[in-house]
Structure 1
Amino acid sequence: MIRLLFLSLFLPSCLFAQESKDYLALIREDAAVHPAVDSARDMRLATLRLFKRHSLYSEVKAVRIRNGKLEFVRNEMLRLTLGGTYSAGYTFKRAGALPTLQQDYAQGRGGPGGLTWRGAETGEMFSYGPALSSLEYDGSVYPYDADGRLVPSGSGNGRPAKAYGNNLLRNGSLFNQSFSLSGDLNSVTGNILTFNVRLGHSNEQLILPENRNTSRQLDVKLNAHIRRLELRTAYLLHEDNFTNSSRNGFLQRVYRNALLTPASFDNNYGSMAPAYGGNADNPRFLLENNGHYFRRQQQGTLGLLLRTGSFNLKAVQSYEDVNEKANESYMPGTAGFPAGAITLRDKHDRAYFLQTEARYYLPRNNSDFNMEASATYVFTDNHSTTGYRLAAMEYDYRRSAGNLTLQYDIKYNDGNKIRAGLELGAFSYFSNTTKDNNLFTPMLNGYFIFNDYNESRLELKANLSYRQTATELPVNNSLAYANLLRYPVEQVNRYLPNTEVDGFDGLNLTKIRSWSAGASVMYKNYVRFTADIFRQQTLHDVFPLAVGDRLELRNAGSHLRKGIELELEKMSSYRNNAFNTSFSASFTTWKHTVTAVENGYDYTPLAGFSDVYKVMAKDQPFGAIMGSAWLRDGSGRVVIDTDGFPTVAPGPKIIGNPIPDFIVKLEDHFSYKKISLRSTFEWRKGGDVWNGTAAVLDYYGRSAQTGEQRNTSGYIFPGVTADGHPNTIPVEFYNPLRPLDQNRWVRYGFGGVAEDYIEKGDCIRLRTAELSYYWNLKKIIRKITLSASVGNIILWKTYSGSDPDLLLFDQPNTAGLDFFQLPSLQTYGMHLSLQF
């Protein structure tokens, strides 16, 4: 008992040790050599020293005396812990708002004899024919309809004409699942090994038929700790397979032809999927057996980390290899490509990344201050090749770049109410593709925190930052979308993005100067209000330009983005934290203006078509929409021509600003015990959108508007005549006895007058809502979570199109341009997660 008492006084953790026979034998053996004095007095007088320094918190395997010193043998037993998750989800998708079409009038047009139906064999593209209610079938053998041709009622077989829906869209779905296994290998001295393996798979059915996307993922991560060295390794393998790529706007082409198909024509009839008109495609013809595919494989690895006491060294490296192969060809007989167009595209990207960091923690003379100095160097080496098989075109881009950041940090903490910090730094950048390297530019970040939660229960924060950086366009991002700028809207069927930029060399760096300031106040850990001001100036920005038959990169100009963001957060708990609520509301507004343009590049097109596009123009909003407009007098009144219709102004004009006035976001979270509900609302106010979809539907007579208004007569357009007098000339929107090109919608061409189709993008939507419930278990499966979610199911908008947030052919910088984008999706999902 005295031996146990002695050990318990010296090392409390020994109270938890078990007294074994081997342990007692060791003590007795040592006692024979060094007899123990069995009295309290002699124990107090005895001098005992440890053989070496030991951690009092380590588990003790044994105790022995060596050379008169007491030695504790540490337990080196390893401990492995495992855990993981399995999750699976199914999401049902359906198309949101669709354009409203007229289903009352047949394919055809007017003429000397009045309205006449014209079938597909005539090549007719317009739906300005007679009312379907005035037609019937003749029962003849006709390759485009099983019931025969359409004839005036009373002259056929008595079977009335019917309107075909041609509803191409279907319900979509997404099933995804993933399995993740994590493990930690530990000893009493700390963590030795950490690993994570993740497997993922998804299968998606798009809302367009004959379209399926699949994805597979494998991620492996391994971290090893060897003394002060931490080795990080990882490997990832991602594979994506798409039935059809839409890099060339293929899916939008399919959707466009479905919407433009006349109500009197059935796209589903005929084994060869004939088209309804001479410059049209049957969607079935485009989708079925087209040989399309898109495959992408991505692989990557990464490096190591070294840490030492007050001086840390870190080195992280990675290598990524991405292969893409795609068939984007058009079959012979496709509208715009009667002989077909072969596009077999291969892309191979290789990227090496190295980041090294040295950080030194300066000795402290004052316990309230911490200071550290760091130097970070990042090196990247990118190689991207793109080839078009059978076209003998290959593009090869290479860039080696590096940037160095020096930083000195000072942190103050009085241990009570005040914390503050100041970060000073400098940034430099160089590469082998730029014309001018960036020498050291300054960086500054400061913050101040006052926390008096114990007394006034108040927390105040303030921060200020300034930063100058330099950048270049990534060489592995294709800019072939700029080919669309070569084509007017009417020639969209000819669009092929098969020309890449010539190169990335010889340009000035794009430099970014940004600063921000913010402050927040929190009361009782219950409500917080935050205000931020930001300003970012981009100098010598680079954009792809269509020059002849080539794409070239140019430093086009500079632009300034500045604004404010306000946020209010509120948290509440009731009934001993059984019921919790949180709410946040944010308000963001900004202006984005072009401040300067390079010589010869004012009004440079950024994205869109050659006749409706977003532009960089000095003193105008960045990305302002430009296109045809009405001629106006000095007072802004529309000038009316002698025939009573508005006059088109010569040349394109700026007709819209796609930047919204503000965006408000609301996020709610309610939880009661194991039930949780989250939702996100968004309100977007302002921002112009060009509705090119409506323009083309009007032109061909397929929109609901043309069906409702084509019989309008005696209408007087508001405006003034050329001599300044108010217009008094009545007009008919569509007189079947006159040439079709004099009709209200056809007279202005394929895309109409762009200004006439500028609409406001105001909308309020429920972004997401999720309801979840979980069970805690004590067996192999520790937790089960089941959730149900919806997305985008509520959308109130002033915009007549599908959704004002969509992008033109999914291209960058195209917000505000809508041309037969696939409709936004409403989603309904279930998700199961098992944690073990």
Structure 2
Amino acid sequence: MKKIYLFLPLFAAQLMFAQNSQQYYSGIFLDKDKKPKAFIKVFNKNTGIYEETDEEGFAIIQAQKYDTLVWNNGKNIQVVYGVQELKYILENRIPKKSVSAIRSKDYDSLIVKPRSDEYSISKPDYYLSKNSDSYFVKIRKLKQKNGDTLKIKKQEQNKLIINGSFNTSFEVRNRNAIPQTQNRYVQGRSQSGNLIWRGPETNEIFSYGPDISTLAYNFQPYDYDINGQLVPLLSGMPSAKPYNNSLFSTTVGFHNQLQINAFIKSEDYNEKVRFSMDFGQHKNQTYFISQYDINNTFKAKVNANVLKFKVQALFDFDETKATNTNRIALFNRAYQESLLTPISFSNNQGSFLANGQQRTYSQLGDNPEFLFVQNNKYNFLSNQRKYSFNLSRRWDDFTFEINQSYENIFFRNIDIYKSSTNGFPNGLINERQQNNGLYNASILVGYTLDPNDFTHVFRFNSIFNDRQTDISHHLQNLKYNYQRTSQDYIFNYDLQYNDSGFVAGLNLGNSFYISNTSKNNKYWLPKASAFIDFKDVFAWSGTNLKILGAYTQMSSEPDITRSFSSYATTLVTAQNSFQYLPLQEAESFKNLSTIDFAESKVGFSFNYRQKVSFGVDYFQKKIINDIFPVFDNSKISLKNLADHTYKGLELNASYRNLRIGQNFMFSNKASFYKYRDVVDKVVSGYNNLALSGFQDVYKTLSEDQVLGAVVGNYYETNNAGQTIIDDFGFPVASNSKKIIADPTPDFVMKFTHTFNYKMFTLDVNWEWKKGGQLWNGTQAVLDYYGRSKTSGDDRNLKNYVFSGVHANGNVNQIPVDFYDPNLSVFENRWTRYGFTGVAESYVQNADYVRINSVSLGAKFDVGNFRRSLGVSLFVNNIMLWQANSGADPSQNFYDLDSGRGLDFFNLPSYKSFGCMVSFQF
């Protein structure tokens, strides 16, 4: 390398001739690739002189301000703005060093007077005490190394901090919409052209009797009514009044939770140890006054830093006790009977007759109060204990983490039907117990490379799961034992490039899935995703546009803790639903192929200064070899039956903190969701399989149809689509079935509005579901029994002509009476088609608009605690508009996830009001 001192003689001569007025420019000159260029000539166009750069691209050239320098044959041009005298340039180029004194022990011994150390431990006459020095308390340990050398360990000054919170709330509940029933016609039917009342002793099930205003109670002793029997109204007698058999009440529940945190912080405010406890108790009161559950929780958690490791330990206890659950559809059954009970019978007058049998309006029905009578305080118990341990550490770019957890969950259901219950004359009791043991272990190893603007992250994750489940039904001494050991090995590579203008990322990976219950293991489950995040797009400061795409393959199996016993509903008809009793579980989870998923997703999001955001995602998931239950030799078996494709579109938009006045801000968020799940292929012999529901109306697995489309009977039509009318003037019901309803909505939109004013916050959440259909079996059965408002309003309709044609093609002109007393009760408009009528005629739209929640909260200063007291008032489901008649269309058949689209005495949803108070300390 050419050294700068080679130029010193020339510069010294110039200085000696007092060229003080001459100025120079110095610098490093770059080539076209912006790299330092050696041995290039730099010209001063104003003076014509030039200099050559050294090996580092450095040169000094005589110049004045605003001279123009050129190099690389004129391709590079620079105007000079700063010049200096030559001596300053040279001085700055030469490193400056100061001369250090040379010292030794011999030299120090000659010039330094020895000092006496009064605290030296070599002098036994002296000792150390806490008064020796003001900083003595900061010494944790003294240790003599050799001679007079001591090793001192510092005493850290730690702080113990305790804080926490207490939350309490209460909630007042009431039921939401239920079907409308008629309040005029009593238990009975037509006989010899007259409408007569038929009492409970006749086991009459219909409410096609006379108007209650034409009857009176005789106040004579009668086992079924304290007011006596009904007789025709005579002069001077008060007319009978309808009884109210509503099963619902306004109830109150509560929730209390106490959280305590204790943690130790060092002088530099780093947290060393944290211990937290959480206590909770919750009473969930249903709208049935006698039905509730109590939940008790306790959590303890420890976080600590030990020898540069982060350690976390957790214990979680959760216990729930309930009077009853809805496992056997007990609540649906009680609700059904409350609606079907005639207005001339009171369930509230007692559940038992003098002979100890059930007091009910008919032996073919039940008294809801009787169904809820129980000897045990709690017929349901769940007990959950979870232990987990986490250990992690980071070494520069290397990370390591290990997690272990064990969870034990015990469930006990006691399902009871007392003697004289409809369908169980001798009574029934079954105790179902389930014990789950779930062990999980995970090891995560990661390595990060961060050269320049690129970040590379390599990760390997190994997951081990061991799950054991034991289920027993004591009634039939049935026992089921399931065990699964599965392993997941996941390899991931993340690449991220971060530039001032955008950020780009790429993720590549593959995973293995190995299981002892699967017929096949998976060793090729790739995934890939990428995104580009542009900053300050359109030259708008604070904006960013993110574009993303992803493709993922996965494999899984049905959870062995999941019960498939509810599939027993498909063995009974709707009319025999009282015989439903889920006593069987799946025989085995073994020898099944894995359920494979191939999911792709593309989308983008736009954000402006964290205030305005908009995003769009399109997704498609292909599910291959999906598993469904079937009855095989009267036992529940699981089989790989179908492929189906789930795809949809999701849009999200929001605006945050729009200031519309002093101390007043407004935020909005909206989402749009649209999806469809279509069956691509069904294994031969299982097309049109019932997935849930009853034998006569059910959700089906059918090729080229929506998964879970509703199947039922329908009115016969000709090729022109005209309804065929029979010889009696009524439409003809088909003996076969077809798809009659699609539960899939056209779209779902959700909205959130937040208003902030000083310490007050108002939140409003509502949603709109457009489209989708359901079968309203509740309405069909109420019509059949004569309990619906429709059957009450229209039963006197006469000479009605149904639109349609006869089998011979002639237009129907036969007038009919909806309820002719001269005919059998089974020949009227609503009973002639059977218990569930014509299923197609009870398909209704499932649109709704619902205000999910409204809450008003405030935080107050209390003494030295800032914002420590919070009060919130809330209402849930306060407003519901629905297109169908009856219960909330979002409620599911028998509370089953697979039951959406079927309404058979679905329980109404709640609307609730409450208050929550929280205090932080």
TM-score after normalising by structure 2: 0.82
The CA deviation string for residues 718-772 of structure 1, in whole angstroms up to 9 with x for no partner, is: 2222123332221111101101111111111111111111100111010011100
1:100 equivalenced with 2:195 (yes/no): no
Deviation (angstroms), 1:113: 4.1
In the alignment, structure 1 segments of 5+ residues that lack a partner are: 1-28, 35-58
Partner residue, 2:806? 721
Shift of 1:780: 6.1
1:382 aligns with 2:467: yes
In structure 2, how many angstroms separate the alpha carbons of the residues matched to 1:690 and 1:30?
106
Residue 246 of structure 2: which of 167, 177, 190 is its match? 167
Query: Judging changes above 3 Å, is the alpha-carbon distance between structure 1 residues 582 and 270 closer, same or farther for their aligned structure 2 residues?
Result: closer
Partner residue in 2 for 1:125: 205
1:623 paired residue number: 708
CA distance in 2: counterparts of 1:603 and 1:394, whole angstroms:
31
Question: What is the CA–CA distance in structure 2 between the aligned matches of 1:723 and 1:299, rounded to whole Å?
Answer: 71
Show the 5 A alignment for 1:159-558: 159-188=238-267, 190-270=270-350, 272=352, 274-291=359-376, 293-309=379-395, 310-362=397-449, 364=450, 366-414=451-499, 416-452=500-536, 455-558=540-643
CA contact (8 A) 1:228 1:306 kept: no
Q: Secondary structure at the match of 1:342?
A: strand
Confirm or deny: 8 A CA contact 1:125 1:280 kept in the other structure: yes
Q: Amino acid of the residue matched to residue 683 of structure 2?
A: E
Q: Distance in 2 between matches of 1:260 and 1:302?
A: 51
8 Å CA contact 1:569–1:583 kept in 2: the answer is: yes
Q: Give the equivalent residue in structure 2 for 1:114.
A: 194
What is the CA–CA distance in structure 1 between the aligned matches of 2:114 and 2:362, rounded to whole Å? Answer: 107
Which deviates further from its counterpart, 548-557 or 483-492?
Answer: 548-557
Say if 1:394 and 1:640 are closer, same or farther in 2 by CA, change over 3 A.
Answer: same
Aligned pairs, number: 780
Q: Helix, strand or coil for the counterpart of 2:733? A: coil
User: Residues of 2 paired with 1:646 and 1:575: CA distance?
Assistant: 61
Structure 2 counterpart of 1:805, from 890, 896, 905: 890
Amino acid at match of 2:393: R
Which of 533, 553, 567 aligns to 2:652? It is: 567
Name whichever of 644-653 and 284-293 sits farther off. Answer: 284-293
Alignment equivalent of 1:590, drawn from 663, 675, 680: 675
Q: CA deviation at 1:176?
A: 0.4
- Looking at both structures, which has the greater relative contact order when contacts are Cα pairs under 8 Å and sequence separation is at least 6? 1
Offset of residue 140 of structure 1: 2.2
Q: Give the corresponding residue for 1:632.
A: 717
The alignment partner of 1:308 has SS state of strand
> In structure 2, do the counterparts of structure 1 residues 819 and 271 end up closer, same or farther at CA, with 3 Å as the change threshold?
closer
User: Match of 1:343, SS?
Assistant: strand
Does residue 79 (structure 1) correspond to residue 159 (structure 2)? The answer is: yes
Alignment partners' CA distance in 2, 1:810 and 1:402 = 33
Q: CA RMSD in A?
A: 2.4
Deviation at 1:248, TM superposition (A): 0.4
CA contact (8 A) 2:860 2:866 kept: no
Partner of 1:149: 229
1:103 counterpart letter in structure 2 = N
2:797 to 709, 712, 715: 712
Contact 1:233-1:302 at 8 Å conserved across structures: yes
Q: Distance in 2 between matches of 1:546 and 1:621?
A: 22
Question: Residue by residue, what CA displacement relative to the aligned partner does 1:377-429 show, whole Å, maximum 9, x if unpaired?
Answer: 11111110111124211111111111111001101112x23111101000211
Report the CA distance between 1:60 and its aligned residue. Answer: 8.2
Aligned twin of 2:106: none
1:31 to 1:635, Cα distance in 2 relative to 1, 3 A: farther
In structure 2, how many angstroms separate the alpha carbons of the residues matched to 1:445 and 1:475? 31
Provide the residue aligned with 1:601 in structure 2: 686
Q: Is the 8 A contact 1:134 1:152 kept in 2?
A: yes
Question: Whole-Å Cα distance in 1 between the matches of residues 406 and 191 of structure 2?
Answer: 67
What CA distance in whole angstroms lies between the structure 2 residues aligned with 1:30 and 1:714? 132
Counterpart contact for 1:143–1:270, Cα < 8 Å: no
Deviation readout 1:778-822 (Å, 9 max, x if unpaired): 536860000000110111111111210001111121111111122
C-alpha separation in 2, matches of 1:592 and 1:31? 93
Where in structure 2 are the equivalents of 1:642-681 lying within 5 Å?
642-681=727-766
SS of residue in 1 equivalent to 2:347: coil
Whichever residue aligns with residue 546 of structure 2, its letter is K
- The answer to whether the 8 Å contact 2:769/2:847 transfers is yes
In the alignment, is residue 768 of structure 1 matched against residue 853 of structure 2? yes
Q: Is the 8 A contact 1:485 1:546 kept in 2?
A: no
- Indicate conservation of the 8 Å contact 2:141/2:154, yes or no: no
1:302 deviates by 0.6
Residue 699 (structure 2) aligns with:
614
Q: Paired residue for 1:825?
A: 910
Distance in structure 1 (CA, Å) of the matches to 2:252 and 2:555:
42
State the SS of the aligned residue for 2:185: coil
Provide closer, same or farther for how the CA distance between residues 642 and 341 of structure 1 changes in structure 2, counting only shifts above 3 A.
same
Query: Given the two structures, how large is their TM-score scaled by the length of structure 1?
Result: 0.90
Displacement of 1:551 in angstroms is: 0.7
Asked if structure 2 preserves the Cα contact closer than 8 Å seen for 1:290 and 1:330, the reply is: no
Counterpart CA distance in 2 for 1:106 and 1:30 is 121
Distance 2:347 2:765 in 1: 40
CA distance in 2, matches of 1:63, 1:123: 92
- Measured against aligned partners, the alpha-carbon deviations of 1:661-685 in whole angstroms (never above 9, x if no partner) come to 0001111111111000111110000
- Distance 1:747-1:227 versus aligned 2 partners, 3 A rule: same
Compute the displacement of 1:628 (Å): 1.4
Helix, strand or coil at the partner of 2:441: strand
Query: Are the aligned partners of 2:216 and 2:231 in contact in 1 as well (CA < 8 Å)?
Result: yes
CA contact (8 A) 1:75 1:188 kept: no
CA separation of 1:372/1:110 partners in 2, compared to 1, >3 Å: closer, same or farther?
Answer: same
**Matched residue SS, 2:243:** coil
Q: How many Å apart are 1:637 and its aligned residue?
A: 2.4
SS at match of 2:334: helix
SS in 2 for 1:469: strand
- The one-character-per-residue Cα deviations of 1:8-50 (angstroms, maximum 9, x if unpaired) are xxxxxxxxxxxxxxxxxxxxx999479xxxxxxxxxxxxxxxx
Residues 63, 474 of structure 1: alpha-carbon distance in 2 compared, 3 angstrom cutoff: closer
| Other-structure match for 1:5 | none
Q: Aligned equivalents of 1:582 and 1:31: distance in 2?
A: 76
Corresponding residue SS for 1:730: coil
Q: Which residue of 2 aligns with 1:23?
A: none
Distance 2:601 2:262 in 1: 41
Larger radius of gyration: 2
| Inter-partner Cα distance in structure 2 for 1:812 and 1:556 | 19
Contact 1:781 1:835 in 2 (8 A): no
Matched, 1:796 2:894: no
Q: Distance in 1 between matches of 2:432 and 2:664?
A: 56
Measured in 2, the distance between the counterparts of 1:575 and 1:645 equals: 63
Kept in 2: contact 1:166–1:267 (CA 8 A): yes
Please name the residue that 1:22 is paired with: none
2:781 pairs with 1:696? yes
Residue deviations 1:430-488 (CA, integer Å, cap 9, x gap)? 11111111112110111111122885442111111110000111101111111111111
8 A contact 1:349–1:385 mirrored in 2: yes
